[in-house]
A and B are shown apart, each in its own frame.
Chain A
Amino acid sequence: MEIVLALGIGIFTASGIWLLFRPRTFQVIIGLCLLSYAVNLFILAMGRLRMDAPPIIERGVAVDPSQYADPLPQALVLTAIVISFATTALLLVVLLASRGQTGTDHVDGEEKDGEP
């Protein structure tokens, strides 16, 4: 499991960063989406992999924390998911506005000679 997840995180990161370097705004947005998947999984992995042990405890019983998955990374990732939606939306709108004003979807707002 660990190897598969680690490789998955790596591939998502590589795809995300490759897209981040591209000149077109849509590529950058997709890149950020992929990168945020990778980062969220990475944070979750910091709590180690646990199966069938969601951090949902029993009522009124003394809890043995080692029986459950680590809730802290999950709490961090949960807000990160919602915030990353918000930033994606903001980025999209900024890029659309820039495209409307400059007439191009290049990240710098102007076409460069070298790369289309």
Chain B
Amino acid sequence: MAVDRLLLIALILPFAGSIVAGFLPAGARNVAALLAGTIALIGTAILIAAYPALPGGGGLRYDIEWLPSLGLNLSVRLDGLSWLFGFLILAIGALVVLYARYYMSAEDPVPRFFSFFLAFMGSMLGLVLSGNLVQMAFFWELTSLFSFLLIGYWHQNQSARDGARIALITTGAGGVCLLLGILIIGRIVGSYDIDRILASENLIRSSGLYMPALLLILVGAFTKSAQVPFHFWLPHAMAAPTPVSAYLHSATMVKAGIFVLMRLWPVLAGTDEWYFIVSSTGLATLLVGAWAAIFQQDLKGLLAYSTISHLGLITLLLGLGSPLAAVAAIFHTVNHATFKASLFMATGIIDHETGTRDLRRLSGLYRYMPITATLAMVAAAAMAGVPLLNGFLSKEMFLAEALAEHSGTFVDQLLPVIATLASAFAVLYSIRFIHQTFFGPPPVDLPRQPEEAPLWMRVPIEVLVLACLVIGIVPALTIGPFLATAVQSVLGDRTPVYSLAIWHGFNAPMLMSLTALVAGTVLYMLFRDRLNAMKRSPVIGRLKGRKTFEAVLAVIVAGARWLEALFGTRRLQPQLRVLVCLALIAGLLPFVRFDYRPGPLPVTLLDPSFAIVWLLGAACAIGAAWQAKYHRLAALILTSGAGLATCISFIWLSAPDLGVTQLLVEIVTTVLLLLGLRWLPKRVPDHWPEARVPIQVGLRRSTDLLVAVAAGLGMALVSYAVMTRPLPHSISRYFMKHAYFEGGGTNVVNVILVDFRGFDTLGEITVLGIVALTVFALLRRFRPAAESVASPVQQREQTASDHASPDRAVGDTAADYMLAPKVIMEWLFPVIIVFSLYLLLRGHDSPGGGFGAGIVMSIAILIQYMARGTRQVELLLSIRPLRWIGAGLLCAALTGAGASLFGYPFLTSFFSYIAVPGVGTVPAASAVLFDFGVFGLVVGATVLILIALAHQSIRIPRAPADEPKASLPASDGGAA
């Protein structure tokens, strides 16, 4: 299999694994860990296999077309930079899985942890492997979402919930900005494809939209990478389980922002705006993070602020805009990931073994856990930038860059001083971390007796620390080629000459490094006791990020509530009024702009009978509107009159299929509404005080009338204007010409429905089925209003009269007066069924078809219900509407799927001529089978709806407290 396809598998595997892990039983932590570890290792192996294609500026791409017309494809793209990030994500991911297996307590639902973890890993991988920016933004959002779940994993803790929420809102808001920025970039370039964007640097930088795009993308990257002033979420995220912190805050989550900055560095960097915004943000973050880290009493808090400071350092390097600084940034990203992950893991061990992470309580742990202590010391030394370790190398590069001239402003003079100062702070907090924890007198009063951690918990740290050492001692042999590939992929032709040697002679950066080391050590010795007494960081401790965040949130929520109170309503009528008025305005606008004129076509000669039909139809509609409140039955009959006018017009205007269907639907709709009338309350006329309608009510009614008349007038004018203009060429011509030769039918409307647009029809009948099931489900729990429960007056009188006469049984009167119609209706049953089948079979060539035939069939059944009564019919007939629905949908879908057996797309219809003895050759199309499916579903849906409603009348009312017994059998709609 080609390597590029393997990449896609590496991307899909974590998500698949996440789903599998999610379904594992809560105790299966070994299986879940094995699954997660295997997936991470497979991914790493795939990346390693893909590496040979990359050096020398090469790359891999695998595109799957999704919406090519919009330029949106699913594309997996691998180059040097994404390889480096992907490798960190997967390799450190594998180590964290191993660590988490031993860290997580058996009482926690560990498979859930690994499920979130895998999904997060997949999102990060998707982010770095994205071949277009929209896809990248999608995975970016996924990382926010899954980091929320991971940080809040111990959701029983208030702090975990808060931390997760703050992280989600901050990074989520940043994600919106990033997406907006990406959309602007896409607009400038005309594509979201990363290769095309990277090739359009001049276009982007010279665009007038450069500034907004830059700002939005930077807000996205800064929130994710915890840059000042958005850094406050990161310390709160420390409420997560330590493996999560080790993963999110070393190699992944916070590096996502850095990755985006690096990815877009070639097209965005190099301007003054970039330089000032990015480097000053980085500088501020570097200082604030390092300063705050010194004063933390919580081990994880110290590491959190140290992470912020290192992220600031990387951002600063990227902000400087010089190629060498970019090299240092990429290099430091790798180094920071290795030593910070190992330090977090070591912290987890300390927490695990002693029960506390409070620096003031810890002391002298070296004697209990010498191996962990040694590992932590090496990692912390890398963090402080001690020679022979990887952190030293990238820090040297940083210091060298700090000395170089970039903007020619005072920043150039300031930078070396601040760089040295921040380095001294880093030394100070690293020493404090190690010395306070592992040295000094034996600890007293610890929650647990400390001892060395289990071997497998230490292995991940050992691997990482080994990496720190090896990279630090022989960088050119280890990280060198990979770094070169990554740098090449970002900088291309601008790749500078740089040296990874550990000794560059006794130069200025070395001097700064030494100054920092000495200053940090001296400062620690001077202030160590006072630091332990500090409650919060001086100066910046006053900046309460969290409080500001909550206050802003409160203002937003209050604003939303205020707006909702101002504009929102739960009442239907105002909403409908607003909707209709908006539609009116929208409909009016084109005419205001382009003027209203009737078209040039001569009008068709008016047939007087047509006018009479419409005179009646219009009168019926107005009458229905008039009577719908107090005389529901009359309104219903009048509505049917309007329906009949519609129906006649359809037939008149050459639409026989519509006429037939409308007439049939008219029948079932009327029956439906008649069945519903029974459950509506009795309407008594209004009695306004002083027998007159209040002014506001009258005003409302006249406004409504005005809007209604305006809408009607608008529709009339628009339809008249359209009808008097010539018909433009539409796809109809194609349908007409190909209906017989390709669809095998002469009724073009039917051929469109079951063949040309069969997929639409499949959707329509699915909706119909869903509606029927919803109606059925709603009615199963139907509780009528108390006043509607009693039998109607007519029924009561009939029953009373039956009781009064000794020779009559109850129900005789009802049965007798329907006797003649009843007999006719019973006899009609087979006739109507035959008619229905006739309509169905002829539908492809003449008016008819599945819709009409289905409704005829349901009318046949309906008439039996009317003639015999529900109970009688169900003794005789076994109607299972749910099966009709299922069979119909299956028939339609299988007919469509049948096409793929012959290698055609879904719903391609097959059609040929069959010789029938005695009749000659007739066309037979598979689309007719599809129409059978439509027929079955329409029968099932219509019958199910009507019967479910009819059944309400024969339900035995119970006391409201009781659960009403469903009168319909539980498994099927009809009765056996």
Bound together? yes
Stretch at the interface among B66-74, B92-100, B517-525, B609-617: B609-617
Is the beta-carbon distance between A7 and B696 smaller than 8 angstroms? no
**B contact residues around A12 at 8 Å (CB):** 617-618, 621, 642, 646, 712
Given A6-B719, A7-B618, A38-B715, A82 and B661 contact (CB-CB distance below 8 Å): yes
B636, B658, B696: the one within 8 Å of A74 (CB): B658
Is the beta-carbon distance between B740 and A63 smaller than 8 angstroms? yes
**A contact residues around B611 at 8 Å (CB):** 4
Stretch at the interface among B225-233, B253-261, B665-673: B665-673
Q: Is B778 interfacial (CB 8 A cutoff)?
A: yes
A111 and B838 alpha carbons, distance in the complex (Å): 50
Q: Is B377 interfacial (CB 8 A cutoff)?
A: no
3 closest Cβ pairs, A-B complex: A14-B712, A10-B716, A69-B654
Is the beta-carbon distance between B732 and A65 smaller than 8 angstroms? yes
A90 and B775 alpha carbons, distance in the complex (Å): 6
Q: Is B508 interfacial (CB 8 A cutoff)?
A: no
**B contact residues around A103 at 8 Å (CB):** 785-786
**B contact residues around A52 at 8 Å (CB):** 654
CB distance from A52 to the nearest CB of B (A): 7
**Subset of 18 A-B contacts with CB under 8 Å:** A5-B653, A6-B723, A7-B716, A15-B622, A21-B580, A26-B628, A26-B680, A51-B604, A52-B654, A55-B736, A59-B740, A78-B749, A85-B665, A85-B942, A89-B771, A108-B570, A114-B700, A115-B697
CB distance from B855 to the nearest CB of A (A): 8
Which A residues between 65 and 116 are near B, CB-CB below 8 angstroms? Answer: 65, 68-72, 74-75, 77-79, 81-90, 92-94, 96-97, 99-101, 103-105, 107-108, 112, 114-116
CB distance from B771 to the nearest CB of A (A): 4
Given A18-B708, A65-B733, A101-B783, A30 and B635 contact (CB-CB distance below 8 Å): yes
Q: Is B427 interfacial (CB 8 A cutoff)?
A: no
Is the beta-carbon distance between B720 and A6 smaller than 8 angstroms? yes
A8 and B712 alpha carbons, distance in the complex (Å): 9
**B contact residues around A42 at 8 Å (CB):** 715, 719
Is the beta-carbon distance between B672 and A88 smaller than 8 angstroms? yes
CB distance from B585 to the nearest CB of A (A): 14
Q: Is B954 interfacial (CB 8 A cutoff)?
A: no
The interface on chain B, measured as residues whose beta carbon lies within 8 A of the other chain's beta carbons, has a size of: 121
A26 and B630 alpha carbons, distance in the complex (Å): 10
Is the beta-carbon distance between B621 and A34 smaller than 8 angstroms? yes
Nearest A residue (CB) for B584 = A17
A83 and B673 alpha carbons, distance in the complex (Å): 16
Q: A18-B708, A103-B786, A114-B696 are in contact. List 15 more A-B contacts (CB 8 A).
A: A6-B720, A15-B708, A17-B708, A21-B580, A30-B635, A33-B669, A47-B732, A56-B847, A74-B655, A78-B749, A93-B779, A93-B782, A97-B779, A99-B785, A100-B783
Chain B 560-596, CB within 8 Å of chain A: the 1/0 string?
A: 0000000000111100110010000000000000000
Given A15-B621, A18-B625, A57-B739, A1 and B655 contact (CB-CB distance below 8 Å): no
CB distance from B961 to the nearest CB of A (A): 15
**B contact residues around A96 at 8 Å (CB):** 676, 679-680, 782, 784
**A contact residues around B502 at 8 Å (CB):** none
A5, A74, A104: the one within 8 Å of B614 (CB): A5
User: Which one of A23, A42, A82 has the highest number of Cβ atoms from chain B below 10 Å of its Cβ?
Assistant: A82
Is the beta-carbon distance between B772 and A21 smaller than 8 angstroms? no
Nearest A residue (CB) for B676 = A92
Given A8-B617, A75-B757, A78-B851, A26 and B632 contact (CB-CB distance below 8 Å): yes
Is the beta-carbon distance between A55 and B618 smaller than 8 angstroms? no
Is the beta-carbon distance between B736 and A65 smaller than 8 angstroms? yes
Is the beta-carbon distance between B771 and A86 smaller than 8 angstroms? yes
Is the beta-carbon distance between A74 and B657 smaller than 8 angstroms? yes
Is the beta-carbon distance between B748 and A56 smaller than 8 angstroms? yes
Chain A 20-37, CB within 8 Å of chain B: the 1/0 string?
A: 111111110111011001
CB distance from B660 to the nearest CB of A (A): 10
A75 and B741 alpha carbons, distance in the complex (Å): 19
**A contact residues around B656 at 8 Å (CB):** 54, 56
**B contact residues around A5 at 8 Å (CB):** 614, 649, 653, 719, 723
Q: Is B953 interfacial (CB 8 A cutoff)?
A: no
A42 and B661 alpha carbons, distance in the complex (Å): 17
CB distance from A53 to the nearest CB of B (A): 5
Is the beta-carbon distance between A89 and B624 smaller than 8 angstroms? no
Given A49-B653, A72-B752, A20 and B576 contact (CB-CB distance below 8 Å): yes
Nearest B residue (CB) for A79 = B764
Given A1-B603, A3-B720, A56 and B697 contact (CB-CB distance below 8 Å): no
A20, A27, A89: the one within 8 Å of B629 (CB): A27
Is the beta-carbon distance between B572 and A108 smaller than 8 angstroms? yes
A50, A57, A63, A78: the one within 8 Å of B658 (CB): A78
Is the beta-carbon distance between A1 and B606 smaller than 8 angstroms? yes
**A contact residues around B681 at 8 Å (CB):** 99, 104-105
Q: Is B3 interfacial (CB 8 A cutoff)?
A: no
Is the beta-carbon distance between B604 and A2 smaller than 8 angstroms? yes
Q: Is B447 interfacial (CB 8 A cutoff)?
A: no
Q: Is B938 interfacial (CB 8 A cutoff)?
A: yes
CB distance from B973 to the nearest CB of A (A): 14
A14 and B747 alpha carbons, distance in the complex (Å): 34
A45 and B646 alpha carbons, distance in the complex (Å): 12
A15, A44, A55, A85: the one within 8 Å of B669 (CB): A85
**B contact residues around A47 at 8 Å (CB):** 727, 732
Q: Is B912 interfacial (CB 8 A cutoff)?
A: no
**B contact residues around A23 at 8 Å (CB):** 573
Nearest A residue (CB) for B569 = A108
B662, B746, B767, B945: the one within 8 Å of A81 (CB): B662
Is the beta-carbon distance between A21 and B771 smaller than 8 angstroms? no
Is the beta-carbon distance between B576 and A53 smaller than 8 angstroms? no
Nearest A residue (CB) for B684 = A116
Given A17-B580, A18-B705, A71-B749, A30 and B851 contact (CB-CB distance below 8 Å): no
Q: Is B694 interfacial (CB 8 A cutoff)?
A: yes
Q: Is B704 interfacial (CB 8 A cutoff)?
A: yes
Is the beta-carbon distance between A1 and B604 smaller than 8 angstroms? yes
User: Which one of A44, A51, A85, A88 has the highest number of Cβ atoms from chain B below 10 Å of its Cβ?
Assistant: A85
Is the beta-carbon distance between A71 and B748 smaller than 8 angstroms? yes
Nearest B residue (CB) for A62 = B737
**A contact residues around B704 at 8 Å (CB):** 18, 21-22
A37 and B712 alpha carbons, distance in the complex (Å): 13
**A contact residues around B740 at 8 Å (CB):** 57, 59-60, 63
Q: Is B533 interfacial (CB 8 A cutoff)?
A: no
A27 and B629 alpha carbons, distance in the complex (Å): 6
A105 and B676 alpha carbons, distance in the complex (Å): 12
Q: Is B289 interfacial (CB 8 A cutoff)?
A: no
Nearest A residue (CB) for B731 = A72
Q: Is B753 interfacial (CB 8 A cutoff)?
A: yes
